[in-house]
Structure 1
C-alpha cells in the first residue's frame, strides 16, 4: 500500500488535488470508507476526504455492536432487519478477530416483552438470518449464566446472539482494503464548498486544516457520507433533514463487573433498551438516546443526566455490585445521524433508522444508515453515482476483506494472532516487523500490543495524539485517566515515528489530556 503518514500527506496533497477524479467521497466514517472500498475495487479513480480524523465522529463512538436490529422487527422494518442480519453473518465470516460473536441475555421479569413474545420476535430474527440462534433459560439455569443478576420478579431469560467490534478499527481495515485497490484517503481536510457548473457539481474546494492551505479538486461525482453533518453542503433541502441524536456510554474496568454475556433490558424510566456488555476486556453500559443540542464540530460528551440514567440501569440489574461514579474508567458519546421529516416530533427512540439518498446533479448524499450495513449502503450510493461517472456498476458480491493468514505472526499466541490480523488485515506484514522488534508485550492491562502502537504511529496517518490513543488504539478509553500513566513510555516509542519535536509533543499531550477530561471522563 505504500507509506501513509503525515510526511507523505504533506507531499501528496498538492499532487492529489491536481488529478481528475471519478469520485470524491466526503466523510471518513464507516459509510465513507465503504464507498471508497467498493469504488476502488471497481477501478474508479477515487479519493476520500475527512475533515477531522478517520472514524472521528459516530464511527468511533458507537455502541460497538454489529447487529441486525432486533427491535426494528417490532416496528415492521423487516427489510432493514433482513439486510442487517445477513451482513452481520458476512462480517463474522470475513473478519474474525475484528467482528466477534457476542451472546445476549434478555431477563424476563413479568413485564413486556415476556418469554413467548420475545421468543416469537427472535424466531423471525433467526429466520431472516437463516439459522436458529436463541434459547430460553429458566431461573435456576440463568443464575449460572449471569451471576449477580437481580432476582426481583425474575422468571428466566432468553439468550440470543449478535456481534461486537472495535468500530474505529473496522473503519481503518476497510480503508486499508480500499487503498490496496488504488483508492486514496486523507484526514484533516475540510470541504468548504462544492463547485457547480450549470447546476451540476463538478468539484469542490477544501482546506488543509494542518497548514491552512486551500485546494480545488475536480471530479465527475461527489458522494457525501458525512453523517450528522449531511445537511451542510447539499443545495436542495426539502422537508427531510438530519436529527442529531446523542448516544452516551460508561466504561468500567472488567474486574469491577465481569460479564461473559451482554445483558439486554428495558430501562424503567422510559422503556428503551439498555445494554451492559463486555468489550475489549472492560464492561460497557449504554446507550442513551437524546437530542444532541451541542455543536457538531466539537467532540460530543456525556451529561450528568445521562450518567445517572445509565448508573440507575446498572444498579437495578446488578444491585449487589454497588457500581457508582467512582468505578467509571471513561465515557464516550456519539451523535447518530437519524433522518426525520420534522413534522411530528417523535421521541428519539421512535425515529426510524432507515437511510435515504439525496441526489442532485453530480452529487449524492447518504443520510442515516447503520454500521452493520455499510457495504449495502456503499453499493446503493455507487449505483446513484454511476451515471455521473459514466461507468456501469458491475453486479458483484465480492468479500469486503481480502483473506489474511493468522499464522503469519508466529511470535504471538493464537488469540493474539487472530486479533491483530482482524484489526490490521493487509498491514500485517508491517506489524510483524514491529512484533519482531518489540515482542508481544501488551500496553498495561489491555490487549493492545506496543508493536501495534508503534505501527500506528509510523504508518496509519496519525496527525494528533488523540488519533493515536482514541481511534488507532483505544488506550485512551481502556486505561485510567486516558492512559496518562503510560504517556512517558508512549512518547519514548512514538515521538520520533510521528516526526514531532519536543515542543510539539508537549503541546499534543496537553491538548489530548484536556480533550480527555472534557469529553471522555465524567462531567466535571
Structure 2
C-alpha cells in the first residue's frame, strides 16, 4: 500500500467507477465490496486510515445486548450474524470474549430478567452461550469485585478486535481486488454537472505536496463517518447526524486483572459500563454524550468523563484502590449516530446504519464496527444504479481470503502466538513481514505481543506518513505503553529514519507533534482550576456526576 504509487494511479486512472471518500471501516467495506464486484475503485482519506472513530471504538464486535433491550431485534440479529462471520473468517484478529453480568440481591434487572434476555440473544445467534455462575465462582472470575449482596453472575459470549487493524485487513483485501487508496488526501469540494447538479467527482488537496487536482467518478460514496454532513452540505442538504462521544480508559492488567469482560451498572445513573481485557491491558468504557466540539479537532476525554468511569470502577472494585495514577492512556471516539429527532438521551438513539443516494452522492453512515459488511452490501446496491454491469451478488461471499498453507509453513520458525497474530493481521503478507525482519525484530515489545518487525513492515508498506499513524493505528504501542512509548525511542528512531528517509530534524518535528497529540487527546486530562461557584460548561457532562 505505497502512498506514492497509489497517488500516481489516481492521477492516471481517468474516470473511476467508484470513488470512496473515507478510510474508516465503512469506507473500507464499501471499497472491498465494490472492487470484488468488478468496479474500478479509488478511496481517499483526509487523515489516516482508521484515523477517526474506527480506531477509537470500544473494540467490541458484538450483537448489542442493549439494542435487544430496546426492542431492536433486527439490528441485534444482523449484528450477531456478522459477529459470527468475523469470528470464523478473521480468527485471531477478531477473538471470542466472554461477558459477565453480576447480579445482586434487590437490584434490577434481576437474575430471571437477564436470563430471559440472554436466552433470546442466544436464540438469535443460533447457539447457547449463556451460563450462570454462583457468588463464589463470580468472585474467582473477577477478583476484587464488590461482594456485598452478590447472588452470582450470568455470562455470555461476544467478541472483540483491534479495530484499526481490522480496517487495515479490509483495505488490504480491497487492494488485492484492485482498489487504489490514498491517505492524507482531502476532498475540498464536490464536482457537479448537468441541470440536476449530479455529483461526478471531487476536487482534492494533497497537503503533503500542496497539490490540488480533480478526480472524475461515476459514483461518489460518502463514508466519512461523523463528517458526513460536511460533505452533504456541498449539495445544500440538511444535517442528519447527532455526533456522540464515547470515552475510554486503559489500565495495566496487573492493576485490574480480568480473564473476561465484566459489565457494571454505574452507581450514579444505572448506565452499563464495562471493563474488559484487551491487548494485554484492561479497557474501561464508555461514556455516551453529545459532542459539541469542533470535529476538526482530535476528540479527548474530559475531566467529568474520567471521574465518571473511575467512579464505576471504584464502586465495583472497592478493594483495588483504582485512581487516576493507574490510567495508562485514554481515547475518545465520536459516533456518527443518525439523529431520531425525538429528543431522546444519547444512549437511546438508534444505532442502525443509513444509506441514501442524493444527486449521485451515496452517503453511508450511522453503523457499527460489527456490521460494516452488511452496510457495504446495501451501499453496493445503490452504487449499481450508477455503474452499469456491476456484478452485485445475492449470495454471501467470504469477507477475507484465508492465508495459504504455504504462508503458514513459512512462519514455522516463529513462536505460535506471533505466528497466529501475523496470519490474522497480514494474511499472506505475513511471510513477507518475516522476510523483512532484521536481527532480533521478531522479539515482542514488553507484554504487548507486538514485534519490532511489524513497525518496519508498516513503515515500508502501510502508507505511514506521521508518527501517530505508526504508533496509534498500525500498532497500538502509543496506547499500551506508558508515556506513549517514550521508552522505545532509542531503537524506534533509527528504524523509522531508515524506512521513511527522515532526517534528524524530521524525526524531532514528528516526535514533538506526536507528544503534543498524546497529551491533548490520549492522556489523563489535567485538572482545571475553576471558581467554586462556576456553572458547568455542559449540562450533560455535569450530569455524569449527578446521582439519580
Pairwise mapping of residues 434-513 of structure 1 onto structure 2 (< 5 A)? 434-435=436-437, 437-513=439-515
Q: Cα offset for 1:341?
A: 3.4
Could you tell me which of 351, 370, 373 is aligned with 1:372?
370
CA distance 1:10–1:26, change in 2 (3 Å): closer
- 2: CA distance, partners of 1:321 / 1:12: 55
SS at match of 1:300: coil
- 8 Å CA contact 2:340, 2:350 repeated in 1: no
- 2: CA distance, partners of 1:8 / 1:330: 35
What corresponds to 1:21 in structure 2?
16
- 2: CA distance, partners of 1:273 / 1:220: 45
- 1: CA distance, partners of 2:480 / 2:413: 24
Q: Cα offset for 1:225?
A: 0.7
- 8 Å CA contact 1:192, 1:206 repeated in 2: yes
What corresponds to 2:531 in structure 1?
none
SS at match of 1:275: strand
- 1: CA distance, partners of 2:440 / 2:10: 33
TM-score by length of 2: 0.92
| Structure 2, unaligned runs of 5 or more | 527-548
Could you tell me which of 149, 153, 161 is aligned with 2:145?
149
SS at match of 1:155: strand
Q: Deviations over 1:90-137 (max 9, x none)?
A: 000001110000111000113221111111111111111110010111
- 8 Å CA contact 2:141, 2:258 repeated in 1: no
- 8 Å CA contact 2:30, 2:376 repeated in 1: yes
| Structure 1, unaligned runs of 5 or more | none
- 1: CA distance, partners of 2:520 / 2:441: 35
- 2: CA distance, partners of 1:236 / 1:143: 57
Pairwise mapping of residues 246-261 of structure 1 onto structure 2 (< 5 A)? 246-261=245-260
Q: Deviations over 1:232-289 (max 9, x none)?
A: 1225566761111000001011111111010012212222211101000000110011
Higher mean alpha-carbon deviation, 473-482 vs 442-451, is at 442-451
CA distance 1:71–1:407, change in 2 (3 Å): farther
1:93 correspondence with 2:95: no
Q: Deviations over 1:451-492 (max 9, x none)?
A: 111101111000100000000000000011000111221111
Higher mean alpha-carbon deviation, 436-445 vs 76-85, is at 436-445
Pairwise mapping of residues 218-229 of structure 1 onto structure 2 (< 5 A)? 218-229=216-227
What corresponds to 1:108 in structure 2?
103
TM-score by length of 1: 0.96
Q: Cα offset for 1:5?
A: 3.0
- 2: CA distance, partners of 1:462 / 1:500: 12
- 8 Å CA contact 1:407, 1:417 repeated in 2: no
Q: Deviations over 1:296-337 (max 9, x none)?
A: 112110000000000000111111111110111000011000
CA distance 1:46–1:491, change in 2 (3 Å): same
What corresponds to 2:336 in structure 1?
337
Q: Cα offset for 1:12?
A: 4.2
What corresponds to 2:132 in structure 1?
136
Could you tell me which of 77, 82, 89 is aligned with 1:82?
77
- 2: CA distance, partners of 1:15 / 1:463: 22
- 2: CA distance, partners of 1:7 / 1:336: 31
Q: Cα offset for 1:426?
A: 3.3
What corresponds to 1:275 in structure 2?
274
SS at match of 1:455: helix
What corresponds to 1:69 in structure 2?
64
SS at match of 1:331: strand
What corresponds to 1:118 in structure 2?
114
CA distance 1:514–1:371, change in 2 (3 Å): same
What corresponds to 2:299 in structure 1?
300
Q: Deviations over 1:358-403 (max 9, x none)?
A: 2123221012001000001000001011011113422231111111
Aligned length: 518
Two-structure CA RMSD over aligned residues (Å): 1.5
- 1: CA distance, partners of 2:272 / 2:208: 41
- 8 Å CA contact 1:264, 1:276 repeated in 2: yes
SS at match of 2:226: helix
SS at match of 1:469: helix
